[in-house]
Structure 1
Amino acid sequence: MSDDIKFVLSLLLLSSLMLFVASDDTECLRTLQKSLVDPRGELESTWNFSGNGFNGFICSFTGVNCWNPSDSTVRSLHLVSLGLQGQFPEGLQGCSMIEDLNLSGNSFSGPIPSDISWRLPYLRYLDLSHNSFSGQIPTNITEMTKLEFLNLSNNDFSGPIPSNISLLVPQLSSLDLSYNSFSGPIPVSITDMAYLKLKTLNLRHNKLNGEIPWQFCSLAHSVSFSVAENLFSGLVPSCFENFTASIFAGNRRLCGAPLGNCRLRRVNDETSIGAAVGFVVGFVLAFYFPHWFVFSTSLHSYIFRI
């Protein structure tokens, strides 16, 4: 077979493959649109599938960005603050080359699909913030090894942070789990991420408890983080004594620099408890033994009776 014929066959094969991918991506968006509730008609008015007479037409849809405007292969999908409702969109696995998904600022609910790593294997950026998603972080998410940015903040997620979270994403640079209801201790494995690419870690306003692991010191000078407004207790690791108090604020049982002095707080607590116990004991004694209570010798042993 001549080189010219091989070249022509290669072009035909490539063209067929591109058309196949483009067809899949068109069907991906069509399925996605059908799976959502669109009360404001944001997608209904701009995603017009009847105009598919030319390749690349879906690249002009609201929130859709393609790798190449002429081949209809979706690179990113930004459906931000459009009032969309429903569960995690169906059909996204058809957009096989998507690397950026932003669904923030809508009213999505329900869990993250347990097979998300299969649906979106090449995803680098995932933003589900400011919705009503719930449930736990699926363990399958640890297989999304290309993910660099994950924002699940301001939702209704609960349960523990996966203990193997360091396997979550070797390339992860930002992890935001703030303003949810995550509970349990901070996994020590999360500190392993400090030796990778992690730059931002936000655990603010959850129900996390236990002590701040001393291994967290490995994050001290390389990662911007917050554990404020949780249920942590005990002593802040000494490596954070020169950090701002706002990072740890709102944990009532947490103390030590840069928060208040633990000994002083303990003394105040004991004094308050002692005063309360003393008041109760005094009241009981006064009620049953009123003849014991003498206000002053100048009153000639005036007896206080209830």
Structure 2
Amino acid sequence: MAPCNKSIIITCVLMIISITFSKATDTDINCLKAFKDSMEDPQNFLSSWNFSTTPEGYICAFVGIECWNSNSNRVLNIRLPNMGLKGMLPLDLANCTSMTGLDLSGNLLYGTLPTNISKILPYVTSLDLSSNNFSGQIPRDLANCSFLNVVRLENNAFSGQIPLDLGRLTRIREFNVANNSLFGPVPVFRNGNISAESYAGNSGLCGGPLPPCEGPANKTRI
């Protein structure tokens, strides 16, 4: 192959990589913009989220944002606990396409969790939404977030049954739904040693580390 042809091929490959990377980082930036726009932030913790600058990796300096590396705008984790944020869980979090950790605990978030949560948070390993005002049912689709190691949903207003499909989360080592309004049998986690304290404050739960289910609930669990 002639040297000029090799040069053209290399240039094309580099252009493709650059375009792909640019699109990926643009989606992460849009993810954070949408998150900020959707939140009431009375204490102005998100005031550092200034999108008017353009240096590589600038979003990595934002409060609560951890990036894959300091020179890229690719979000690894969003950690914004105890900041008084108020709003619903934004669907635009799906644009943080490489995010593995989300901690929004101790805020004033409300509403239901998306029924397609695995599409919003496909690669998340740690999900902490504890001590908010979330309500409704825990979505069955959470079982499709197959990388989850930690799920903390305690101190909310979730109701209904815990989806037994969550037992398919083979990586789980911490699962806490204490102090909600849940009832029925609890999931069986094969690799997680989940204690009774993780289910405390839900008077209708049974099975697992809790007293056995009786009657129809026991049959459902089997």
**Count of matched residue positions in the alignment of Structure 1 and Structure 2:** 209
Deviations 1:180-239 (A, max 9, x none): 11112x24xx33x23xx31334111112255x4xxx4xxxxxxxxx64xxxx5899xxxx
- Helix, strand or coil: the match of 2:82? coil
Cα 1:176–1:32, aligned 2, differ >3 Å: closer, same or farther? same
Which of 28, 31, 36 aligns to 2:34? It is 31
Pick aligned residue for 2:20 from 17, 20, 32:
17
Shift of 1:8: 3.0
TM-score by length of 2: 0.87
User: Considering only aligned residues, what root-mean-square deviation do their CA atoms show, in Å?
Assistant: 2.0
Q: Using the alignment, how far apart are the partners of 1:56 and 1:234 within structure 2? A: 52
In structure 2, the partner of 1:48 is: 50
Higher RCO (CA-CA < 8 Å; seq separation 6+): 2
For the structure 1 residues 19 and 209, does the alpha-carbon distance in structure 2 shift closer, same or farther, using more than 3 Å as the test?
A: closer
Contact 1:76 1:100 in 2 (8 A): yes
Inter-CA distance 209–149: structure 2 relative to 1 (3 Å threshold): closer
2:200 is the counterpart of 1:204 = yes
1:22 Cα deviation from its structure 2 partner: 0.9
One-letter identity of the residue aligned with 2:29:
T
Counterpart in the other structure of 1:175: 175
Q: Whose Rg is larger?
A: 1
For normalisation by structure 1, the TM-score amounts to 0.64
Contact 2:142 2:166 in 1 (8 A): no
1:204-243 to 2 correspondences below 5 Å: 204-209=200-205, 212=207, 216=208, 227=210
CA distance in 2 between counterparts of 1:199 and 1:62 reads: 34
- Is the 8 Å Cα contact of residues 91 and 120 (structure 2) preserved in structure 1? no
Which one-letter code corresponds to 2:30 in the other structure? E
Write out per-residue CA displacement over residues 72-120 of structure 1, whole angstroms, 9 at most, x where no aligned residue: 0000000111100011124101111101000001010111111110111
Q: Percent identity?
A: 33
Q: Distance in 2 between matches of 1:200 and 1:11?
A: 48
CA contact (8 A) 2:130 2:152 kept: yes
Tell me what 1:152 maps to: 153
- Corresponding residue for residue 261 of structure 1: none
Residues 5-14 or 80-89, more deviating: 5-14
Structure 2 gap segments, 5+ residues each: 215-222
Alpha carbons 1:27, 1:94 under 8 Å: kept: yes
What aligned pairs does 1:92-131 form with structure 2 within 5 A after superposition?
92-131=93-132
Post-superposition shift, 1:9? 2.3
Q: Tell me if structure 1 keeps the 8 A contact 2:105–2:131.
A: yes
Pairwise CA distance, 1:41: 1.4
Aligned to 1:63: 64
* Structure 2 Cα separation of the partners of residues 11 and 95 of structure 1: 24
Deviation at 1:10, TM superposition (A): 2.0
Q: Contact conserved, 1:18 with 1:71, CA < 8 A, in 2?
A: no
- Conserved 8 A contact 2:42-2:84: yes
CA deviations 1:102-161 (Å, max 9, x no partner) are 000101011111111011111111000011111111111111111111000111111111
> Using a 3 Å threshold, how does the CA distance of structure 1 residues 182 and 21 change in structure 2: closer, same or farther?
same
Q: Which residue of 1 aligns with 2:80?
A: 79
- Cα distance change of structure 1 residues 27 and 69 upon mapping to structure 2, 3 Å threshold: same
